[in-house]
Amino acid sequence: MSLFGKIGSLFATTRNDERIAHAATAIESNLGPHLLAISEDWEALLPAVTAALDHYDRAIATIPGPIHLSAASHAQDQRLHTLFPSADDIDRTLGASIAVRNGIKWFADKEQDTAYALLGLRLMAAEGGSGAVRPADHTIRSLGIHVPDVRTALREAAFAGLIKSFTADLYEKLHAWRAQQPAGGLEPIDPNLVQFGQRASVAPALRALAEWLRTPERQFALEAANPSLLLPAAAGEAAYPLPRLATSDRRKWLVCLVAFQTQEAIEAIAGEVRGTRYIQI
């Protein structure tokens, strides 16, 4: 039975099967199939996997939005005026964001007029030394047809990043261990852990992975919102700050969900020489 057949039969009666299948793919692509080959191992690992996915879903659900981006609406929409110093900054954000440049053609080909995504920005000191801050480095990633697609893409990126960071940590420990062994006494480490899994029990790696998954916030966490930037709300409601996203990227971003017209993004891309902006998760 194939890997996906095993996973499907094992978790067919559980909810969120697609979440588990994507998590299994992330683990297999980084660590090789031996960690997934035995159903008992999956049963032991499933609570930690599910808990990490639930953590990401809860966090991502708190990201506000969507806010509709349009350079033409900048002067009239107080939220856009707060997020972007000028209308040109909206065009520049759409045109310079690598995720938009790489993905917008799909929306055009599918005749999707609107795209949804995550907007990240950082606060920089305003000119003049007044101590004030201004929004800068606006970046868009994780495009989707609907808001749930964006949230799903963020969860999948967060979990995949969590597994990649575990793999890097595991290899670092394996290399450190081998460096302490007598010369010539061990085979080289395989480029992936398939051969490692054949030579030795995978139980230690499974236990280490389960422990790693218990701290999903190391890869993706929404921190307390920054009160330096308050986003105007609807009439009669209080203004609110944006949450701050902390990922493996050393930069931290104030984030919200946005929507924008496909054609406006295409025109913005034509005005930028290349993509220079991205958010790493």
> pTM for the full model?
0.85
Count up the domains in the chain and report the number: 1
Q: In percent, how much of the chain has pLDDT > 90? A: 54
The per-residue pLDDT for range 63-92, each reduced to its tens digit, is 999 999 999 999 999 899 999 999 999 999
Contacts for 19-25: CB closer than 8 Å, 24+ residues apart: 19/53, 19/155, 20/46, 20/49, 20/50, 20/53, 22/156, 22/159, 23/49, 23/53, 23/159
Contact 220, 59 (CB under 8 A): yes
pLDDT tens for 236-262 read 667 888 999 999 888 889 999 999 999
pLDDT of the residue at 129: 63
Separation CA 243–CA 174 (nearest Å): 37
User: Residue 235: its pLDDT value, please?
Assistant: 60
Boundaries of domain holding 157: 1-281
Q: Sign of dihedral through CA atoms 71, 76, 77, 78?
A: positive
Model confidence over 137-186: pLDDT tens digits? 999 999 999 999 999 999 999 999 999 999 888 877 777 766 766 665 55
Nearest CA among 120, 103, 99 for reference residue 112? 103
135-165: b (≥16 Cβ within 10 Å) or e: bebbbbbbbbeeeeebbbbbbbbbbbbbbee
